[in-house]
Structure 1
């Protein structure tokens, strides 16, 4: 298997912690971890198998200018990128209590951008065991990737990551 490119943002905090946990579970010899704030589109295009991680910001930031967010800076770089024939798995962090009607919405937005590149999204997850009101990342009875809540369900993260790794690795072969 070729190396997997893992791209995450923002730097620091829970998304970075989960990215490092994923790298550990997959194996540091099989994955290269990148902060999206330091990347260009070509950095993504060099991989056939890609993982991307994003957090969903709270409502207090949605109405403000959020141009400093790592992904807000990187999203435009995906425009026109051709990832046809490549596989992308997504993970997203959100708060299923305070933002139950927006749970991991940014993962859904990222999926929309990735679909436009021609890549195949893999690693969809059932909603079994999740409580939420609504989510742009929930489609056709599944999440587009792995949803995690580090605020209220951090005790479930390691098991969810382990199960997801078992789901995505065969897709990357």
Structure 2
């Protein structure tokens, strides 16, 4: 397997915590971890297998009016890049209690952008075991990636990551 590029943002929070967990479980010899704040898209296109991690803090924080999020700066740079032939898996963090109407919406937004790059998105997840009202990341009866709620379901994160890795890693050969 070629090295996997894991790209996440923001730093110093739950997204970084989950990114480090994913990297640890995959193994340092198979993955390189990058914060989107510190790179350009030419780094992303170097990888055949890509994992993207993003958070949704609520509609008021992920809207285009907010320019403080690392992804708000990086996402526009992804428009027009060519990821044909590459596999992309996405994980997203959200709060299913306070933001049940926007649960992991940013993961859905990221999925839409990645879809325009020609990449193959892998790692969709059933909604079984999740409680939420609405989500832009819930498409055709599944989440477009791995939803994580570190605020209220931290005890489920490791098992959810393990199960997700069983889905994506065989496809990243």
Scaled to the shorter chain, the TM-score interval is: over 0.9
1:19-77: CA deviation from partner (whole Å, max 9, x where unpaired)? 00000111111000000001111110000000000000224435783112100000111
Matching of residues 92-111 of structure 1 within 5 Å: 92-111=92-111
Q: Which ranges of structure 2 fall in alignment gaps of 5 or more residues?
A: none
Partner of 1:114 in structure 2? 114
Q: Which ranges of structure 1 fall in alignment gaps of 5 or more residues?
A: none
Tell me the C-alpha RMSD between the 2 structures: 1.1
C-alpha contact 2:64 2:72 (8 A) present in aligned 1: no
TM norm structure 2: 0.97
| SS in structure 2 of the partner of residue 25 of structure 1 | helix
Partner of 1:162 in structure 2? 162
Residues matched between the structures, number:
173
1:77-118: CA deviation from partner (whole Å, max 9, x where unpaired)? 101100000000000000000100100000000000000000
Distance in 1, matches of 2:60 and 2:79, equals 27
| SS in structure 2 of the partner of residue 126 of structure 1 | coil
C-alpha contact 2:56 2:62 (8 A) present in aligned 1: no
Partner of 2:17 in structure 1? 17
Structure 2 vs 1, CA of residues 4 and 64 (structure 1 numbering), >3 Å: closer, same or farther?
Answer: closer
Structure 2 vs 1, CA of residues 62 and 3 (structure 1 numbering), >3 Å: closer, same or farther?
Answer: closer
Structure 2 vs 1, CA of residues 29 and 110 (structure 1 numbering), >3 Å: closer, same or farther?
Answer: same
Distance in 1, matches of 2:52 and 2:62, equals 21
4+ residue segments displaced more than 6 Å: none
Distance in 1, matches of 2:112 and 2:64, equals 22
Distance in 2, matches of 1:70 and 1:172, equals 26
